Amino acid sequence: MSRPTEILIDLEALKHNCRLAKSLSGRGNVVAVVKADAYGHGAADIALKIEPEVSMFAISCMEEAISLRKHGVSLPLLLLEGCFSEEEYALASCQNIQLVIHNNEQARLLSRQNLQHKVKVWLKVDSGMHRLGVLPEEVEAVFEQLLASDNVSEIVLMTHLASADSQSPEFTLEQLRRFEKVKSNLVNRHSARIEVSIANSAGLICWPDARSDWNRPGIMLYGLSPLDVSQECADKLQPVMTFRSEVIAVRNIQAGESVGYGNTWTASRSSQIATLAVGYGDGYPRTAKSGTPVLINGQRCPLVGRVSMDMICVDVTDIGMVEIGDSAELWGKSLKANEIAECSGSIGYELVTRMPKRTKRRFIG
Ligand SMILES: *Cc1c(COP(=O)(O)O)cnc(C)c1O
């Protein structure tokens, strides 16, 4: 018998979410974001499964790109932060890897290469997030430099939205307005159509004006909503990851007895406590508070006491018979990772992405 803690990856749910992203994109393309090992879901398996559905993949660095190539992924790839060193330009050119250019220096380094094949570049505009990108007033100069380079085949104009998931629209409207102005200036000056890319998942779901030639959904592909409120389209997403374990001990304790390290939770009544073979060493957040829901045999029960490295305890008094070997879901289809994130001061993105190696992954469908 091996440790029962595992994550199940439902590839049919992935496909469903991918099709939803595609339908929102209309005639635009889907660039599936599979950075950080596809948000903890396994980049190679995820990419190979949806390769027929999407136009390209985006990752954060060359190492992630090369790993996809080694696993047989053949669609174009996009490095979201561009190259980190000068050697990477030649590699990108041979491996059909496109580059974000987010500053002057990257444009300069690219221009001075002697590349075998031209590369397609994505000129990133800082429309207000102030993390990466060329300021609106400097875009024209960098665009000209890229246009003049023998190493550049095409230029896509891109930006990134800082709060497309927000309930208040003002900031996104301002970013869209600034970006549109940059774009129309370039279009007028060069009298050419310019391809653009704006939307992440929240942009794609909530902002029709952000849907464009190239859409960049990440989290929604994995079935997590980027929003913290219910929304018609986001509610259709199907969670891809199910994090599960099993009960390995059951005991009754009297009122006044406490559970776990530091005795942070004390029973107010005579209670039945189940211990599960999952802890922060398996990716369950240590910051999850007493009361965080856990599904035991499909029923919600509250976490009690501190999360240990290898175990958690759950109060199962109210659900009747619980035995060693009974099934536990930490998050997945019936319990949203976003809800557990809220109970632990995090976001669903982080919980699924930081799953450790120890937790085995099993693909279904
Ligand atoms: C990560 C990332 C995305 C995807 O964002 P989601 O919120 O997961 O959809 C899109 N664009 C860029 C530039 C990113 O870094």
Q: Report yes or no: 242 and 35 within 8 Å, Cβ to Cβ.
A: no
pLDDT digit string (tens) for 180-199?
999 999 999 998 899 999 99
Q: Among 78, 197, 200, 214, which residue has the most ligand 1 atoms within 8 Å of its CB, making it the best to mutate?
A: 200
Token pair listed for 300 = 């919600």
Q: Report yes or no: 32 and 51 within 8 Å, Cβ to Cβ.
A: no
b (16+ CB within 10 A) / e for 7-34: bbbbbebbbbbbebbbebbeebbbbbbb
Is 284 considered catalytic here?
no
- For residue 31, how far is its CA from the centre of ligand 1 (angstroms)? 10
**Could you give the 3-state DSSP secondary structure of residue 35?**
helix
Distance CA 227, CA 343 (A): 16
Per-residue model confidence (pLDDT) at position 32 = 99
Atom 4 (ligand 1): residue with closest C-alpha?
A: 218
Per-residue model confidence (pLDDT) at position 191 = 84
Residues in the chain where the model's pLDDT stays below 70: 1
Q: Among 41, 59, 80, which residue has the most ligand 1 atoms within 8 Å of its CB, making it the best to mutate?
A: 80
Contacts for 78-87: CB closer than 8 Å, 24+ residues apart? 78/31, 78/122, 80/33, 80/35, 81/132, 82/106, 83/109, 83/110, 86/113
Is 35 considered catalytic here?
yes
Per-residue model confidence (pLDDT) at position 363 = 98
- For residue 159, how far is its CA from the centre of ligand 1 (angstroms)? 11
Per-residue model confidence (pLDDT) at position 1 = 62
Q: Which residue ranges have their beta carbon within 6 Å of ligand 1? A: 33, 35, 80, 160, 200-202, 216-219, 226
